[in-house]
Structure 1
Amino acid sequence: METKTPVIIFGANGFIGRYLCRYFARQGREVVAVGRRRDGWSGDGMFLEWDGKTIGPWALALEGAGLVINLAGRSVNCRYNEANRHEIMESRVAATRVIGEAIASCKVPPVVWMNAGTATLYRHAEDQPQDEWTGEPGEGFSVGVAQRWEQEFFAAKVAGRTRKLALRIGMVMANEPETVFDVLNGLVQRGLGGRMGSGRQRVSWIHMDDLLEIISRLEADGFADGVYNLTAPHAPTNAELMQRFREMLGMPLGLPSAKWMLELGALVMGTETELVLKSRWVKPGRLMAEGFRWRWPEMGSALFDLESRRGLEGFFHVPERRAAGSKVWTTGKGLRTA
């Protein structure tokens, strides 16, 4: 009989974290959710609090774990002033460091440790995609955070039996409030769904379905380690992305946004234009070479799918199935089954 080992998820109350908690719980895995607070947690598994920088009772949960996933880190959706820069960097580095220390102290260390990273590590690219082997790092604060994050992860001195994977994740698409999908959806509905800036900047993204499946596959593959780009194989331009959103919503037109307009809007919203103006053309080279097949490789079909899967419950909802051979007919009150 197969033994399903526990999954420990740090940053479990964040966007990706709560989807992972629900995903593994539905697979029958024991889930331990670790976070600074319970707000945002899916309610799956057992919740443990931590401060993200010191060893605590949560460390006991790592003993004999099958998979540890670290997603902890302050949101980058803010202005990059000195205080926020420090918090963004320190929250990622400190969390990675203390998890490494906890794993190193385990008598039975975890089988796999995955650490989230970001596809923004690569240089601004409109001319050619960047993969794990030939991709070049860019410049600036966000790149520095990505590099320091990975350096701390790979420097952690854990037992050799623990496989380490750094996940460079693109923009994750799910129909969730305050996410990329939600924000762009709102702009299109207001008639502001035209290209942003030049519109030529590439957008590296991934559907939540594929993200969850890739993480599960990498855990199961005993030879998988090192760096992986977690993106869809096709990265549209910003202009193409906005067109796909307009098509999904049936919006015939969308006003374009010049760079100065975006900078003004970002100032008002307390964020940075880098999130929409930087070109991220990231190629999932290793996954492609290993034969992974994306369920949602194209942005258009992915958006149409997500439109009807609102929130965590909608995303994981399984439609009821009719009994084989049952008949369906229409009445004045709608569909009936026999």
Structure 2
Amino acid sequence: MKKLIIAGANGFLARYLTRYFTERGWVVVGLARHRDGMGPQCRYVHWDGASLGDWADEIDGADVLVNLAGRSVNCRYNKANKRAIIDSRVNSTRVIGEAIANCAQPPELWINSSTATIYRHAEDRPQSDSGEIGQGFSVEVAKAWEEAFFSAHVPGRVRKLAIRTSMVLADEPGTVYRYLYQLARFGLGGKVGSGRQMVSWIHIHDFCRAIDWLIEHDEISGPVNVTSPDPLCNAELMRRFRRHSGTAIGLPATKWMAEIGAFLLRTETELILKSRWVVPTRLLEHGFVFKHPEMEPWNWQK
């Protein structure tokens, strides 16, 4: 049986990956600070995300390691939160690299999370896997994250993939999908700001399938955009969620209204106002076929 290690195993992406791979006969081991939120099929192993410990023994002999660890960016970007966001990503990546370097039998593949936010605010043209790097705090986080990953001294036979993932949509409580649906349902699903900012996204099932596909395609390494081929502008995205909720009218929100709302919700407007026009060029060029290539939330099954 193949063995998959998931670091940061109690987020919703990890739960779906756990289910996906255990259904295909894999053993899944989850590294996390606590059990809360982990999939029932995942064997829990404690780690602190910053220092070597007994957890590192699980990596020796594993087939694949996927690192999803990182503090949520859905918060205000004050000094303490910024430090926590960066440290949680860089430190976990660094210590995983140390663990792999000490393995007698290191995993064949190390997949590390990154983010599609690494690219610039783009309303003029899409950004491929070699797109133009942007500026600002979120971009600096992504750059530091990838630097820690690609500079990690591990055996040369360990293939490295940095997945620059867009917004992942799954119909379950607490996700962006459910938040957008509720906004539309209560008549608040209009455009935000100009509505021209692009939104890149991927269905959770295609996210899992892409990880599986990347495992099998050992000719691919480096950064890979994991996102659907159908990015939408914010206005069109909200129109489709209004259709999904059966609500004809959606009140728009100006930029200043979004600023007030973000302050009250203790988050940042960048999450909704930055234009992320990102496309999966490498996935498509190598033959990956999406099951959900278009945004059709009314047709998606949980």
- Shorter chain as denominator, the TM-score bin is over 0.9
Matched, 1:54 2:48: no
Query: 2:36 matched to which residue of 1?
Result: 39
Partner Cα distance (1:261, 1:177) in 2 = 25
Contact 2:75 2:81 in 1 (8 A): yes
Q: Residue 299 of structure 1 aligns to a residue in which SS?
A: coil
Aligned residue among 75, 85, 89 for 1:88:
85
What's the RMSD between the two structures over aligned residues? 0.8
- Structure 2: which 5+ residue stretches go unaligned? none
- Structure 1: which 5+ residue stretches go unaligned? 310-338
Partner Cα distance (1:12, 1:167) in 2 = 16
Query: 1:229 matched to which residue of 2?
Result: 225
Deviations for 1:81-140, whole angstroms, at most 9, x for unmatched residues?
A: 00000000000000000000000000000010000000000000011000113x111110
Query: 1:192 matched to which residue of 2?
Result: 188
The list of structure 1 runs, each at least 4 consecutive aligned residues, that deviate by more than 4 angstroms after superposition, is none
Alignment size in residue pairs: 302
Query: 2:299 matched to which residue of 1?
Result: 305
TM-score (norm 1): 0.88
Deviations for 1:169-191, whole angstroms, at most 9, x for unmatched residues?
A: 00000012221111111111110
Q: What is the identity percentage for the equivalent residue pairs of Structure 1 and Structure 2?
A: 53
Query: 2:129 matched to which residue of 1?
Result: 132
Q: How does 1:196-275 map to 2 (within 5 A)?
A: 196-275=192-271
Note the C-alpha offset of 1:213.
Answer: 0.5
Q: Residue 133 of structure 2 aligns to a residue in which SS?
A: coil
Q: Which has the larger displacement, 36-45 or 120-129?
A: 36-45
Partner Cα distance (2:116, 2:133) in 1 = 10
Query: 2:104 matched to which residue of 1?
Result: 107
Partner Cα distance (2:40, 2:299) in 1 = 25
Note the C-alpha offset of 1:288.
Answer: 1.2
Partner Cα distance (1:26, 1:132) in 2 = 30
Note the C-alpha offset of 1:305.
Answer: 3.4
Partner Cα distance (1:305, 1:156) in 2 = 42
Larger radius of gyration: 1
Q: Which structure carries more relative contact order (alpha carbon 8 Å, separation 6+)? A: 2
Partner Cα distance (1:116, 1:168) in 2 = 7
Deviations for 1:160-218, whole angstroms, at most 9, x for unmatched residues?
A: 11110000000000012221111111111110000010000000100011110010011
Partner Cα distance (2:275, 2:172) in 1 = 23
Note the C-alpha offset of 1:45.
Answer: 2.7
Partner Cα distance (1:17, 1:224) in 2 = 22
TM-score (norm 2): 0.98
Partner Cα distance (1:188, 1:172) in 2 = 18
